[in-house]
């Protein structure tokens, strides 16, 4: 197993799967992802990691973008370099857990790829998986390799990136987009508040 200070090689294989259902859509197209988010009433927030200084971080690093609070975890800790958020140890899974109080996160997407120890994007098979087991598998070759998930029913609470074959490369993320909607209970409270306001004006 290598770390950031060791050289790395790559394995390039071609494998692609996509998934779509009435309740969950998966797409490698950013424009389609944005259109699906808009159709479900999501408000989007983008985490670019640009405000995080370059360096090593312990697993469990937390931050927020808009109302979304997120925590990154990986065996062997984390490393950030000029907006690229990555594992510190090669071949390890990178997971982001997130929540937004009073809201449901119904969409998540981003640029997920593999990088060498110098943060150079490398061809590799990547697996991007949600907390419910829904996954997307593809060969990525550059840092703008996008995949997005949009749920029409259930909230999403985590997303993970792994490299099942390229154990000498680092799971890396360039940015993450979160799409949020009011939680069902919050919608009921908003409706009740609107009804009460109308009664007062009557």
Residue 3 included in any domain = no
Q: Which of 74, 71, 73, 77 is nearest to 57 (CA)?
A: 77
C-alpha 70: how far from chain center: 10
Domain that holds residue 195: 24-201
Give me the tens of pLDDT residue by residue for the chain, a chain 202 residues long: 555 543 333 232 223 334 444 589 999 999 999 999 999 999 999 999 999 999 999 999 999 999 999 999 999 999 999 999 999 999 999 999 999 999 999 999 999 999 999 999 999 999 999 999 999 999 998 888 999 999 999 999 999 999 999 999 999 999 999 999 998 854 444 444 444 445 444 5
Residue 2 included in any domain = no
What is the 3-class SS of the chain, one letter each residue?
CCECCCCCCCCCCCCCECCECCCEEEECCHHHHHHHHHHCCCEEEEECCCCCCCEEECCCEEEEECCEEEEEECCCCEEEECCEEEECECCCCEEEEEECCCEEEEEEEEEEEEECCCCCEECEEEEEEECCCCEEEEEECCCCCEEEEEECCCCCCEEEEECCCCCCCEEEEEEEEEEEEECHHHHHHHHHHHHHHHHHHC
Between the alpha carbon of residue 128 and those of residues 101, 132, 141, 145, the distances in Å are 25, 12, 15, 11
pLDDT of residue 143: 85
Residue 17 included in any domain = no
pLDDT of residue 154: 93
**Using alpha carbons only, what angle is made at residue 130 by residues 34 and 32, rounded to the nearest 5 degrees?**
15
Total tally of structural domains belonging to the chain: 1
pLDDT of residue 11: 31
The pair phi, psi for residue 200, each rounded to 5°, is -65, -35
Residue 16 included in any domain = no
Distance CA 201, CA 194 (A): 11
**pTM of whole model > 0.85?**
no
DSSP bridge pairs for 44:
179
* CATH number of residue 56's parent domain: 2.60.120.260
Residue 32 included in any domain = yes
Residue 114 included in any domain = yes
Q: Which residue's entry shows tokens 């640029």?
A: 111
pLDDT of residue 202: 52
pLDDT of residue 142: 87
pLDDT of residue 144: 85
145 HSE (CA, 13 A, CB side): 25
């Amino acid at each position: 197993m290598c770390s950031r200070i060791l050289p790395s090689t790559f394995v390039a294989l071609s494998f692609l799967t996509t998934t779509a259902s009435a309740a969950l859509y998966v797409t490698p197209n950013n424009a389609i992802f944005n259109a699906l988010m808009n159709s479900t009433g999501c408000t989007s927030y983008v985490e670019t990691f640009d405000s995080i200084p370059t360096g090593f971080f312990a697993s469990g690093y937390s931050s927020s973008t808009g109302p979304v609070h997120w925590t990154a975890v990986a065996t062997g800790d984390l490393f950030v370099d000029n907006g690229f958020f990555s594992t510190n140890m090669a071949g390890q899974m990178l997971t982001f857990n997130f929540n937004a109080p009073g809201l449901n996160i119904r969409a998540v997407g981003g640029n997920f790829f593999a990088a060498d120890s110098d943060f150079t994007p490398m061809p590799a098979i990547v697996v991007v998986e949600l907390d419910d087991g829904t996954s997307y598998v593809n060969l990525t070759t550059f840092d703008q390799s996008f995949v997005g998930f949009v749920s029409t029913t259930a909230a999403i609470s985590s997303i993970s990136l792994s490299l099942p074959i390229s154990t000498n490369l680092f799971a890396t993320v360039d940015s993450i987009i979160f799409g949020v909607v009011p939680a069902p209970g919050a919608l009921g409270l908003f409706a009740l508040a609107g009804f009460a306001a109308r009664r007062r004006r009557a």
